[in-house]
Amino acid sequence: MKIYVEPRPDMAPTIPSWFSEQLPLSFDLAMQIGKFRRKMESLIGNAYKAIDYLIKKYGIDEKTAMAIISYFEEQSHFIIPHDRRVVVEIFEKDGYRYIIFHTLVGRRANDALSRIFAYRITKKFKFNVRLAITDNGFAIIYPWWKYDISDEELKSLFKAKNMEEDLEKALANTEILKRRFRHVATRSLMILKNYLGHEMSVSRQQKNASMLFKVVREIDPEFPALKETYREIMEDSMDIKNAKKYMKKIEEEKIEIRVLRTMLPSPFSFNIVAIGATDVVLMEDRKELIRELHKEVMQLIKNA
């Protein structure tokens, strides 16, 4: 095997997303944050009462309270998502259409929801999309010149029916499924680490796992090791249970859906946009992008 290297000193490195240093936001804590957002929305316009509430309730100083209030006041020029309202925000930037889903359900549940929604969009409209996933929501991104999904079509994505089936189909042929199957197959003693006293190389184990994965899917989709692989991804790595719980609340109209089409992303969207930007790979670049977005939004608010 030969590796060809081309010097590109003028380009930033491609750094993969990495979240091991931070714990994902849990579903229960996400619900509490949603309630806090709803409370803060009710206090907008009464700064004195809001400051007093934050200081007494959370033991913070006045400067921190003012920063929180300012953040919510900026978001109020758009729509504030909370535990009883999910906001779908649509705008175009740098040749792409961003559909931001402010689903405050925690990272694991958002991981499941984002893949389900992406699968449903791809299946219905026949084009590929890109994902950006965070604790507070996710973005579906695709070129602006492709089909502009209507408000009603976006709302129709929020269906609890067939969520597990759609997630399974979304996971088919993905690297996460193949990797996890190798671990499950090894635990199930289906892949040998030693044979006739000789230790098998990792590359050989990977090759065997890949062949086994292909055969198992063709012969029996209900094969125990394959079913366990899907279960581990959907229930351990992701949170399909709480994702369904959230979706059912929307169907029962306990949570309203608001669609917002805007020229610029709202403050609550900044981090999602920064994660989804393909030309932003370093933390310094991400901070700079967020500063630039904030500057543009403040100018928009000023001119309104």
**Nearest 10 degrees: Cα torsion 16, 20, 22, 23:** 130
Residue 205's pLDDT is 75
- Rounded CA gap, 266 and 100, in Å? 10
Q: Exposure of 150 by Cβ count < 10 A (0-12 exposed, 13-18 middle, 19+ buried)?
A: exposed
Q: Is the dihedral of CA 216, 217, 223, 227 positive or negative?
A: positive
Residues 272 and 156 reside in one and the same domain? yes
Phi–psi pair at 93, nearest 5 degrees? -150, 130
Does residue 19 or residue 283 have the better pLDDT?
Answer: 283
For residue 185, give the nearest of 193, 175, 197 by alpha carbon: 193
The answer to whether the CB of 105 falls within 8 A of the CB of 243 is yes
> Is residue 162 over pLDDT 90?
yes
**Does 91 map to a domain?**
yes
Angle between helix axes 163-171 and 240-251 (nearest 10 degrees) is 130
Q: pTM for this one?
A: 0.87
Helix (H) or strand (E) holding 90: strand 85-93
> Is residue 13 over pLDDT 70?
no
Residues 287 and 139 reside in one and the same domain? yes
- Rounded CA gap, 188 and 185, in Å? 5
Indicate the residue among 237, 255, 289 that finishes a domain.
237
Please identify which residue in the block is written with the tokens 């610029």. 264
Confidence of residue 58 (pLDDT cuts 50, 70, 90): very high
Residue 188's pLDDT is 84
Residue 260's pLDDT is 97
Residue range 179-226, pLDDT digits in tens: 898 888 888 888 777 777 777 777 777 787 888 888 888 888 888 999
Indicate the residue among 237, 260, 287 that finishes a domain.
237
Q: Residue 99: give the domain boundaries.
A: 20-161+239-304
Residue 134's pLDDT is 93
Residues 77 and 192 reside in one and the same domain? no
**Does 259 map to a domain?**
yes
Residue 27's pLDDT is 95
**Does 43 map to a domain?**
yes
Indicate the residue among 222, 237, 252 that finishes a domain.
237
Q: How far is CA 208 from CA 152, 230, 233, in A?
A: 47, 19, 21
Residues 110 and 232 reside in one and the same domain? no
How many domains is the chain built from? 2
Residues 204 and 115 reside in one and the same domain? no
- Other beta carbons within 10 Å of 160: 15
